[in-house]
A and B are shown apart, each in its own frame.
Chain A
Amino acid sequence: MPSKKKDLAKGRTAFWNDPEKRSMLYQIIMLVILIICGAYIISNTLHNLDSRGIKTGFDFLWSEAGFGINQSLIEYDESHSYGRTFFVGLLNTILVASLGILLATILGFTIGIARLSNNWLIAKISAVYIETFRNIPLLLQIFFWYFAVLRPLPRPKQSIELFDVFFLNNRGLAMPAPNILEGFGWVLLVFALSLIVVIGVKRWAKNRQDTTGKGFPIISVSLAIMLGLPALTYLFVGSPIDWEVPTLRGFNYRGGITVIPELLALLLALSVYTAAFIAEIVRSGILSINKGQTEASFALGLSRPKMLKLVIIPQAMRVIIPPLTSQFLNLVKNSSLATAIGYPDLVSVFAGTTLNQTGQAIEVIAMTMAVYLTLSLLISLFMNWYNKRIALVER
């Protein structure tokens, strides 16, 4: 019976009035247009590349780069390949992005919470911070830190000194580098052991609370164990880290670690800018929790810290984490502004210098975009997984 009905429904319509056939037709037209456009672009490109004498393909990745990069986390000099410049840039992007995410999160949460403070002055200062920094272009902020603050700093000889070990000058921030000596293994071992102890203490404390109801100051005790034991070991085996303090030799500081001003400027601007957005997210996340939740917690006799810990924060985090992740993604994408001040990130090194030297625009841009796309994809996969996991169960 149903099949006959379907036949009836189909039989009477002309094919252009049949929604299924019509949508099929639209899609075929769309495909044809896409293919024609694609073919047109490809043929143009091949012709253009040919007339400019550019070879397509990824062979260029293995030829010698011949240019220097002022910061690299892996071994690199002019004799290395273009392929290696890709990794140098990628690692530099990862470095500035992870430091930036860390700083922006700390700063953003602090300001977001301060924005809700019942101290009027603190709340207003946070509001001014948020409204100032999120309404000024990031590139301008990067320029400000780089050209107006860090570059005009005095030369190494007149460095600004902090505690006699940090030296800030127009070449960057020189700071002590740890040289690991014999015996440091013991400190690491004790640290690992203390982690195990902390896990044990945590289990014991939870168990004790479940059975006797008595609480335990787990955070402070864990911190004490985790930091205290390794510190004691460190002193006991005779301070096995030798801090190599930078010293002024000739025109610059030698030894230690030097953070180049480009990295400092980019890091400052990225964290300050993104923190303003994170603060807004944190604020609206906390405000989104219904007032009834607070009232119910108080009516049950919970104190304010316990209410925050048990009721507000778990619920606010569900609201905060998705937009927070997309801010992290924004920060990673924004780190590409490094180009403008010459911090050697992926875009600056690879899509900049390498592209200009080789002329392999398509390959280079495609590789660069692929990196960012992969990252976006990973983050959105994480978000979907997280959203599913934390979604409040409703009927």
Chain B
Amino acid sequence: MIQSDKKLPDLPPPRRSDGAFGWIRANLFSSVTNTLLTLLAVYLLYIGLVPLIQWAFIDASWVGETRDDCAVGGACWVFIKTRLNQFVYGFYPEELYWRVNWVFILFGVLITLLIAEKTPYKKWIVIFTLTVFPIITFYLVYGGAFGLEVVETHKWGGLMLTLILAVVGIVAALPFGILLALGRRSTMPVIKTFCTLFIEIWRGVPLITVLFMASVMLPLFIPEEIVFDKLVRALIGIVMFQSAYMAEVVRGGLQAIPKGQYEAASALGLSYWKMMGLIILPQALKLMIPGIVNTFIALFKDTSLVLVIGLLDLLAIVQAGLADAKWAGYSVEGYVFVGLVFWVFCFGMSRYSQALEKKLDTGHKS
């Protein structure tokens, strides 16, 4: 027997389950415990956020030159404003800021092009970013060629130094990481043992000891005549440390490539390096991007450790500014500023890597 042969109409859902009121009831007051939790949270937010907003915005001082321009009780953003140049460029000569600015602009453009989905010639942009761009950056920032005046590295500092440390660290660590990962997967015992040991040792110790090592032990390892710059020593330490982490990311990416790809490549008669370079790595690198971004975030935060060996990165230069008697007592403002800068970079990158992971995830299923 037929119950109903006609298509029944789609009816709207009954009122009680939707609308703002329904939502509030379901998400905030669904039970006694929930109601209590909501009230507690609202109370905590009230006692926390209200004074914070009061301090950071309402009572804050924005204009002026010295600490006398700052009102008591509110945040003194004047401190940040007057020191902003130093926080960004360190002690880089003011008349040469344009050189750093060009690097910033170029870097921004390249990153935008790389993140955008439909950029043409993306492969070439990647190659440009990894090879030509570092050279341009070096000559622009350091100088010493094309009639550009040399700016010694001890004048570098602030956000600029933080970015240089992090970007150089990650870019230089990538090739080492790939080699180490391939070595660790190799069947040759000597190479496998060496790579495994190298990776595990660096991953097992804190970055701070690596930095200490780079700054006090490295000069002992090389002939006396050669003197490494403090920045270069820090970079060597960071790259060694980072390449071990990078190797593990690469290894993860290589493991995600199905065995059939290796077999198909070998069956086509490709040699080991051709198989890796043409078939496996291009696929694996794509899968690795989220992992690389995540290690980059970790490194970006870790660059702040260079202050223990006397480099003036963003955090260190703010810390130094706080020691200035003219601005003593405004540490909270300083830390909030640095925290905000780091947070914006790290949060943005982590969102990007999450979005990418989601995309890769669905790409694989279909």
Residues of A at the B interface (CB closer than 8 Å) are 23, 26-27, 30-31, 34, 41, 44-45, 47-49, 51, 117-122, 125, 131-132, 134-140, 143-144, 147-148, 152, 333-334, 336-337, 339-340, 347, 351, 355, 361-362, 365, 368-369, 372-373, 375-377
Query: How far, in whole Å, are A365 and B212 apart by their CA atoms in the complex?
Result: 8
List, sorted by A's number, 10 A–B pairs whose CB atoms are closer than 8 Å. A26-B188, A34-B194, A47-B223, A136-B346, A340-B308, A347-B208, A365-B209, A369-B204, A373-B204, A373-B205
**Which of B11-19, B27-35, B142-150 lies on the face that meets chain A?**
B27-35
* Total number of residue pairs linking A and B with CB closer than 8 Å: 150
Name the distance in Å between A204's Cβ and chain B's nearest Cβ. Answer: 33
Return the contact of A136 from the options B200, B206, B212, B343 (Cβ within 8 A).
Answer: B343
Whether A131 lies near B37 (C-beta < 8 A) is no
Name the distance in Å between B87's Cβ and chain A's nearest Cβ. Answer: 13
Q: Which residue of B lies closest to A117 (CB)?
A: B37
A-side contacts of B205, CB under 8 Å: 333, 369, 372-373, 376
Whether A48 lies near B335 (C-beta < 8 A) is no
Whether A27 lies near B188 (C-beta < 8 A) is yes
Whether A49 lies near B220 (C-beta < 8 A) is yes
4 nearest CB pairs, A to B: A376-B204, A135-B346, A120-B27, A333-B206
Q: Which residue of A lies closest to B24 (CB)?
A: A120
**Interface flags, B289-328, vs A, CB<8A=1, else 0:** 0000000010001101101100000010001001000000
B-side contacts of A122, CB under 8 Å: 37-38, 41
A-side contacts of B297, CB under 8 Å: 135
Return the contact of B216 from the options A135, A334, A365 (Cβ within 8 A).
Answer: A365
Q: Which residue of B lies closest to A149 (CB)?
A: B332
B-side contacts of A376, CB under 8 Å: 200, 203-205
Query: How far, in whole Å, are A152 and B328 apart by their CA atoms in the complex?
Result: 11
B contact patch SS? helix
Whether B34 lies near A148 (C-beta < 8 A) is no
Name the distance in Å between A336's Cβ and chain B's nearest Cβ. Answer: 4
Q: Known contacts A118-B34, A362-B217: does B342 contact A337 (CB below 8 Å)?
A: no
Return the contact of B37 from the options A51, A119, A148, A347 (Cβ within 8 A).
Answer: A119
A-side contacts of B331, CB under 8 Å: 143-144, 147-148, 152
A-side contacts of B209, CB under 8 Å: 336, 347, 351, 365, 368-369, 372
A-side contacts of B190, CB under 8 Å: 27, 30-31
A-side contacts of B329, CB under 8 Å: 152
B-side contacts of A135, CB under 8 Å: 297, 301, 342-343, 346-347, 350
Return the contact of B28 from the options A119, A339, A377 (Cβ within 8 A).
Answer: A119
Whether A137 lies near B315 (C-beta < 8 A) is yes
Residue B42 interfacial (CB < 8 Å): yes
Q: How many B residues touch A, CB cutoff 8 Å?
A: 55
Query: How far, in whole Å, are A117 and B31 apart by their CA atoms in the complex?
Result: 12
Query: How far, in whole Å, are A45 and B219 apart by their CA atoms in the complex?
Result: 9
Residue B109 interfacial (CB < 8 Å): no
**Interface flags, B179-222, vs A, CB<8A=1, else 0:** 00000000111110010000011011111110011001101111
Whether B221 lies near A45 (C-beta < 8 A) is yes
Name the distance in Å between B138's Cβ and chain A's nearest Cβ. Answer: 26
Q: Which residue of A lies closest to B204 (CB)?
A: A376
B-side contacts of A373, CB under 8 Å: 201, 204-205
Query: How far, in whole Å, are A353 and B332 apart by their CA atoms in the complex?
Result: 29
Whether B222 lies near A121 (C-beta < 8 A) is no
Q: Indicate the member of B34, B223, B339 with the most A CB atoms within 10 Å.
A: B339
Residue B45 interfacial (CB < 8 Å): yes
B-side contacts of A31, CB under 8 Å: 190
A-side contacts of B41, CB under 8 Å: 119, 121-122, 125
Query: How far, in whole Å, are A394 and B38 apart by their CA atoms in the complex?
Result: 44
Name the distance in Å between B115's Cβ and chain A's nearest Cβ. Answer: 18
Whether B305 lies near A27 (C-beta < 8 A) is no
Name the distance in Å between B25's Cβ and chain A's nearest Cβ. Answer: 11
Residue B106 interfacial (CB < 8 Å): no
Whether B191 lies near A26 (C-beta < 8 A) is yes
Query: How far, in whole Å, are A140 and B34 apart by their CA atoms in the complex?
Result: 35
Query: How far, in whole Å, are A372 and B350 apart by their CA atoms in the complex?
Result: 29
Name the distance in Å between B215's Cβ and chain A's nearest Cβ. Answer: 9
Residue B113 interfacial (CB < 8 Å): no
Name the distance in Å between B207's Cβ and chain A's nearest Cβ. Answer: 8
Whether A361 lies near B343 (C-beta < 8 A) is no
Whether B350 lies near A23 (C-beta < 8 A) is no
